[in-house]
Amino acid sequence: LAECIEHELRYIVEKSDLYLACYRNETIEFMKKSEFVIKWLLKALMQRLNVEDMESKQSLLMGSKRINLNYYPICPNPELTVGVGRHSDVSPLTFLLQDNIGGLFFRKMETDSWIHVPPVNGSIVINVGDALQIMSNGKYKSVEHRVAANGSNNRVSVPIFVNPRPDDIIGPLAEVLKNGEEAKYKQVLYSDCVKRFFRKGHDGKETIDFAKI
């Protein structure tokens, strides 16, 4: 049995390397072409916070980027498990391409009800993350979401996470507080937020709680 399992794992790894090589160029190209839209979205969001000089905030908002290729295999008993548990992304913004299978759910704010986000061909799903909630002093809310397991089809999603650099300090922006608004969040090292995010299970918005004053 051990030999059979080892053989299957080796086959999966070899196939994974082949698929990654095939899609590497397409993935990089998708990431490059998304940058214009991400910048446009962030500029619009910053203008609502009275940030006029977007260039001065660009490094803080998107100083680093990461792309994931998520694969959710068919689950014979989807009612017994989850694809991904409830969580909010730690990044300021997530730029998500999902396939036509579905399974993404957003938590309705202030309730425990969940809303399915049906896939629309050619569309992109935008998630506000914890870092943007902190920087906006709560004006923008990070969204809790989860992925349900599927009993009929494999599912693929491709999220791009735009992040501050690890050594950046994030907190409510000066432009947000300039009229005397009280800060709801402290100044925190972004890498500390990321560490807390990955040390815990997907179970809510602990990163926000960590940054609260």
HSE-up of residue 7 (Cα within 13 Å, Cβ side): 4
pLDDT digits (tens, 9 = 90+) for 100-147: 888 899 998 877 799 999 889 888 999 999 999 999 999 999 999 998
Higher-confidence residue of 171 and 155: namely: 171
Is 209 in the active site?
Answer: no
Is 116 in the active site?
Answer: no
Instruction: Say what the pTM is.
Output: 0.84
Query: Does residue 84 register a pLDDT over 90?
Result: no
- Predicted local distance difference test score (pLDDT) of residue 16: 58
- Predicted local distance difference test score (pLDDT) of residue 1: 40
CB 136 within 8 A of CB 175: no
- Predicted local distance difference test score (pLDDT) of residue 24: 75
Is 168 in the active site?
Answer: no
Q: Considering only CA atoms, which of 213, 144, 112, 113 is closest in space to residue 172?
A: 213
- Predicted local distance difference test score (pLDDT) of residue 45: 94
Average pLDDT of the segment spanning 198-205: 73
Tokens representing 129 are: 């993350």
> Domain of 136: which CATH number?
2.60.120.330
List 15, 32, 33, 87, catalytic entry: 87
Domain interval for residue 107:
2-211
Q: How far apart are the first and last CA of the chain?
A: 54
Q: Per the structure, how many domains does the chain have?
A: 1
Is 145 in the active site?
Answer: yes
pLDDT band at 37 (very low <50, low <70, confident <90, very high): very high
Strands (DSSP E) found in 58-148: 64-67, 70-72, 84-87, 93-98, 104-107, 114-116, 125-128, 145-147
